[in-house]
């Protein structure tokens, strides 16, 4: 991934926060069945393994998991807040007009080694942790144990687990750090007015603009 220094982020905790807040990632592999990509939700186990583990599952008819039986290198892409930036938001537009549109975004890329898991108890633990992760903010959270055990057991036969031993994580937070402060403030106001509050907050919070 192209990472100009002023957009690069190496803070592991901040990268993990993005992955947890936006758990639907693109699972990309290039195995025996060719180049494949599938959007799937992940659970991050940051304290497991050397650099952490990602766990997810695929439907059994999805051929991608077969590439993971003997292990396969994969790339997972998580997309955070993003928004189009119009030059009309820049103070520089009125000053000299030498401005062009761009796109602000947050992305985290994870590389690792994926393996397929078909053991029933592992799958039940995994779907339980995934459900708990997503249900926690709800007023009346649902849990896997709320459903009949034979029903859950039957459903897990239709999926295959995927465990990814993380080898590298990289992050890019492109949030107008290269613009003068007056332009950044214009971006914050413009994004907020367009309903992109998360992106606006990041533009406002991230460090001083690069020289």
Question: What is the per-residue pLDDT across 17-49, written as a single tens digit (0 to 9) for each?
Answer: 999 999 999 999 998 889 999 999 999 999 998
Q: How far apart are CA 42 and CA 110, in angstroms?
A: 12
Q: pLDDT > 90: what percent of the chain?
A: 91
**Does the structural domain 5-200 have CATH classification 2.30.110.10?**
yes
**Contact predicate 37/28, CB 8 Å:** yes
Task: Choose among 7, 3, 15, 8: nearest CA to 169.
Answer: 15
Any idea where the domains of the chain sit in the sequence?
Answer: 5-200
Confidence category of residue 207, pLDDT binned at 50, 70, 90: low
pLDDT on residue 54: 98
Q: How far apart are CA 78 and CA 92, in angstroms?
A: 32
In tens, the pLDDT along 84-106 reads 999 999 999 888 999 999 999 99
DSSP-assigned letter for residue 192: H
In tens, the pLDDT along 115-161 reads 999 999 999 999 999 999 999 999 999 999 999 999 999 999 999 99
Q: What is the pTM of this model?
A: 0.92
Helix (H/G/I), strand (E/B), else coil: 152: helix
Task: Choose among 172, 159, 138: nearest CA to 40.
Answer: 159
SS (H, E, C) 2-70: CCCHHHEECCHHHHHHHHHHCCEEEEEEEECCEEEEEEEECEEECCCCCCCEEEEEEECCCHHHHHHCC
Residue 24 bridge partners (DSSP)? 41
pLDDT at 209 over 60: no
């Amino acid at each position: 991934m192209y990472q100009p220094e002023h957009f690069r982020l190496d803070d592991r905790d901040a990268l993990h926060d993005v992955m947890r807040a936006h758990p639907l990632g693109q699972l990309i592999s290039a195995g025996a069945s060719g180049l494949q990509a599938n959007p799937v939700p992940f659970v991050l186990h940051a304290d497991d393994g050397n650099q952490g583990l990602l766990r997810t599952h695929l439907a059994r008819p999805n051929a991608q998991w077969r590439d993971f039986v003997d292990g396969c290198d994969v790339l997972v892409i998580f997309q955070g807040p993003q928004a189009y930036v119009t030059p009309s938001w820049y103070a520089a537009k009125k000053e000299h007009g030498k401005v062009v549109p761009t796109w602000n975004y947050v992305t985290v890329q994870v590389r690792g080694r994926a393996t397929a898991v078909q053991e029933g108890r592992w799958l039940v633990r995994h779907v339980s942790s995934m459900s708990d992760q997503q249900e926690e903010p709800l007023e009346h959270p649902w849990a896997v144990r709320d459903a009949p055990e034979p029903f859950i057991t039957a459903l897990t036969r239709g999926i295959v687990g995927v465990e990814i031993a993380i080898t590298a994580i990289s992050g890019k937070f492109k949030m107008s750090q290269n613009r003068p402060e007056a332009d950044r403030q214009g971006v914050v106001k413009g994004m907020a007015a367009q309903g992109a509050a998360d992106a606006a907050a990041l533009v406002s919070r991230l460090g001083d603009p690069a020289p």
